[in-house]
């Protein structure tokens, strides 16, 4: 697997975690990502796909690369490449610099998932012993908007009702990234243990703030939307 393709496939999170990674080609695992945006969009996609023996296999791409492709569409950057090489830093740097240039150098993105968006990472893969490994990691900026918090509460309820019996390890990180002032502050970070604890922390620590993002947010487009193609074999696995 040397290259990924700029294709976003919308997914159902429950279905994603019900898939058995043992059915994939050897050494391939599924990945997915959710973004709850500053403006209140809830984007849910499998990781970018690759081609194996001329078949398009979804969910194999790097989480970071997929994250940056979502930003590419969220902010209407229009960055097109034929294929994205695995671990490609140039693609990510192109996204970052294009955002900065659009804002006359103002840096709304920090390192990694330091971003105005809430980012939820999903893993459904095989561990070195061949056992199914499932994890969810939730990254939040130090402050979220009311629209984000509303969607976060709905997401928490959805996870509790649909994924509880799957026993998926879920980790939470309120990062030190202050998206209002675009700076890091170690005093702002926290590591709640549950969705309930997370929502309580945000409410009780004045972390729900309405602020304006200095860049236009676009509706994220999908190449394949839920319900558009009911048979996933028509567009590849995953």
pLDDT tens-digit series, residues 95-113: 999 998 889 878 899 888 9
Cα–Cα distance between 227 and 12 in angstroms, integer?
10
Inter-residue contact 61 to 4 (CB < 8 Å): yes
Confidence of residue 233 (pLDDT cuts 50, 70, 90): very low
Inter-residue contact 148 to 209 (CB < 8 Å): no
Question: What's the pLDDT at 236?
Answer: 40
Cα–Cα distance between 31 and 226 in angstroms, integer?
17
pLDDT at 238 over 70: no
pLDDT tens profile 37-69? 999 999 999 999 998 888 888 998 899 999 999
Question: What's the pLDDT at 230?
Answer: 47
Length of the chain: 238
Question: What's the pLDDT at 228?
Answer: 67
> Averaging pLDDT over each range in 8-22, 84-98, 138-152, which range is the top one?
138-152
């Amino acid at each position: 697997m040397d290259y990924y393709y700029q294709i976003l496939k919308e997914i159902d999170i429950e279905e994603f975690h019900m898939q058995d990674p043992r059915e994939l080609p050897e050494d391939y695992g599924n990945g997915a990502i959710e973004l709850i945006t500053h403006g209140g969009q809830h984007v849910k996609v499998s990781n970018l796909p690759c081609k194996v023996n001329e078949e398009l296999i979804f969910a194999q791409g790097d989480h970071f690369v997929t994250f940056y492709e979502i930003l590419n569409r969220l902010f209407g950057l229009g960055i097109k490449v034929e294929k994205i090489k695995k671990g490609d830093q140039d693609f990510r740097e192109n996204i970052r610099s294009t955002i900065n240039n659009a804002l006359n150098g103002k840096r709304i993105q920090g390192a990694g998932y330091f971003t105005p968006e809430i980012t939820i990472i999903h893993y459904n893969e095989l561990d070195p012993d061949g056992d199914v490994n499932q994890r969810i990691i939730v990254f939040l900026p130090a402050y979220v908007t009311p629209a984000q918090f509303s969607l976060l509460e709905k997401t928490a309820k959805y996870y509790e009702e649909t994924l509880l019996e799957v026993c998926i390890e879920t980790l939470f990180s309120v990062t030190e990234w202050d998206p209002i002032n675009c700076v890091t502050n170690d005093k702002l970070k926290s590591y709640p243990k549950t969705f309930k604890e997370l929502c309580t922390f945000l409410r009780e620590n004045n972390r729900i703030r309405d602020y304006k993002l200095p860049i236009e947010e676009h509706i994220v487009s999908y190449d394949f939307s839920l319900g558009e193609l009911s048979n996933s074999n028509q567009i590849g696995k995953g």
